[in-house]
Amino acid sequence: MTLEFKNAYIKNSHTLIGRNEHKTQIKADTNLTDYYDNEKSVEQAEASFQRKTIENLIKKENLKYEDIDILMGGDLQSQIFASSFASRKFNIPFLGIYSACATFVQGLIQSANLLDNNVKNVILTTSAHNLASEKQFRFPIEYGALRKKVNTFTATGSVSAFITKTPSNVKIEYGTIGSVVDLGYNDANNFGACMAPSAAKVISEHLNDTKRKIDYYDIVLTGDLGIYGLNILKDYLKKEYKIEANNLVDAGSILFDKNELEKIAGGSGPICLPLILFGHILKENYKRILLVGTGSLHSKTSCNLGESIPSVSHVISLEVIK
Amino acid sequence: MKLEEYKKIVDKNSSKEDKFKNVFISFIIGGIMGVLCQAFCTFLNKEIGIKLEDASMYTTIMLIVVSSIFTGLGFFDKVVSFAKCGLIVPTTGFAHAMTSAAMDHKSEGIIKGIGSNMFKLAGSIIIYGIIIAFFLALIKGVI
């Protein structure tokens, strides 16, 4: 399912990163050192991250709160705690969304779609907190559970983007909504392998619908497959869909430096993709960008029930006009 | 694509764990732990004059207290991720699992947070430990 958007532009963004991400190549607007951000718990800290990026973005744009039509947000916590609690301070109509690590791309599709109707602008927010995710999906924070090399590391931070009808440098062209894919793979340590099939499927659907070749894009940026997941995706694309992709880059695997990548497979979480997009890719000379948000739709209960891990991926194509 | 075929692609592209290295580290560290605890137990028994049975119990308690304090101080997780099963299998792992779970949920209050979540990792060890102990005692009684 591919939608074409006529009036959607990403005008501005505000990025915030935690202390583990300081050494990365991302140039963020806010660098935090405190994992708790003066809050009582890591969950509340994540909500505070989002609140800060939204406030700062509105300040940057010289707008008032009542100028914002819709606030859209999603995160990894149960009942999207961070987004809901961050937005309670603002008197802005709120839409909460969830598709795990593909949340940001889902948000872009929904925002762009709203802009084709009577909505003037949308603020799209997402966040992730390493400690909150560890606590919710894996083991207690201080437990120091054994990590496998294929494990990814949830990046900490938050990103808010201002999406508007007024033309600006980054145009949202097409959005392709992916379906939930489950080949029966069930290793909850290897998320790259869980998510690669859905990413491959939605990429091929997007290319079919838009009648484009993959080389049309300067860069195809996947969300958080990690270094191993990216190679799996390349192989799978070739075997299953006969697509040879040389412009694939994974946001998770370029988030951390090489020393870190000896221990982990890369960064993960819904903010990997927007952080790399706003903090790195849009500052380089890429013209045609394909974003592939990849989300693994498991929960702790589903894993305990012995279920395999379904995944969903969505695609957005951006055009940078200079 | 069938799952088997897909698993081949995954295996080809995923890094293998160095099992030998992991087992070796665990073996050495677990062994050192054993030696230290035996020394402590002998010390209590010979130098202070505590009965051998009591001395081994005190040694276990010492392990639990020390690892819980280390977990609370916030550096034991790094030690455990290096030492792996060398520290997870002994009582240290048990204490560490309880303390870390309690710390995680501290912000949710004493009853609903710490109280009900403290055993979420270690609860299985206790319940199945008791069940096995019951059957072993039964066997011992019969024989």
pLDDT at A160: 96
Nearest-Cα residue of chain A relative to residue B72: A142
pTM: 0.92
Nearest-neighbour CA in chain B from A232: distance (Å)? 6
Q: How many domains does chain A have?
A: 2
pLDDT at A25: 79
Contacts with B99 from chain A: Cβ below 8 Å: 142
Q: Are B101 and B94 in contact (CB under 8 A)?
A: no
Whether residues A9 and A48 share a domain: the answer is yes
Nearest-Cα residue of chain B relative to residue A184: B3
pLDDT at B113 over 80: yes
Q: How many CB atoms lie within 10 A of CB A210?
A: 17
Whether residues A54 and A184 share a domain: the answer is no
The closest of A258, A237, A257 to A248, measured between CA atoms, is A237
Given A111, A138, A164, which residue is the final one in a domain? A164
As a whole number of angstroms, the distance between CA A188 and CA A197 comes to 15
Q: Are A18 and A32 in contact (CB under 8 A)?
A: yes
As a whole number, mean pLDDT of residues B4-16 equals 88
pLDDT at B74 over 90: no
Q: How many Å is the maximal CA-CA distance in chain B?
A: 69
The closest of B42, B40, B64 to B52, measured between CA atoms, is B42
Residue A206: give the domain boundaries: 170-320
pLDDT at A56 over 80: yes
Whether residues A157 and A19 share a domain: the answer is yes
Given A117, A146, A164, which residue is the final one in a domain? A164
Whether residues A257 and A280 share a domain: the answer is yes
The pLDDT tens digits of the residues spanning A66-82 come to 999 999 999 999 999 99
pLDDT at A142: 85
Which amino acid is it at B90? Answer: P
HSE of B96, CA atoms in CB hemisphere, 13 A: 28
Given A115, A131, A164, which residue is the final one in a domain? A164
Nearest-Cα residue of chain A relative to residue B93: A143
The pLDDT tens digits of the residues spanning A237-271 come to 999 999 999 999 999 999 988 888 878 889 999 99
Whether residues A235 and A118 share a domain: the answer is no
As a whole number, mean pLDDT of residues B21-44 equals 93
With an 8 Å Cβ cutoff, are B107 and A184 in contact?
no
- pLDDT bin (cut points 50, 70, 90) of residue B80 is confident
**A56 CB within 8 Å of a chain B CB:** no
Mean pLDDT of chain A: 92
As a whole number of angstroms, the distance between CA A278 and CA A160 comes to 10
Residue A6: give its domain's CATH number. Answer: 3.40.47.40
- pLDDT bin (cut points 50, 70, 90) of residue A178 is very high
Structure tokens at A238: 């070739």
pLDDT at B93 over 90: no
Contacts with A20 from chain B: Cβ below 8 Å: none
Whether residues A176 and A159 share a domain: the answer is no
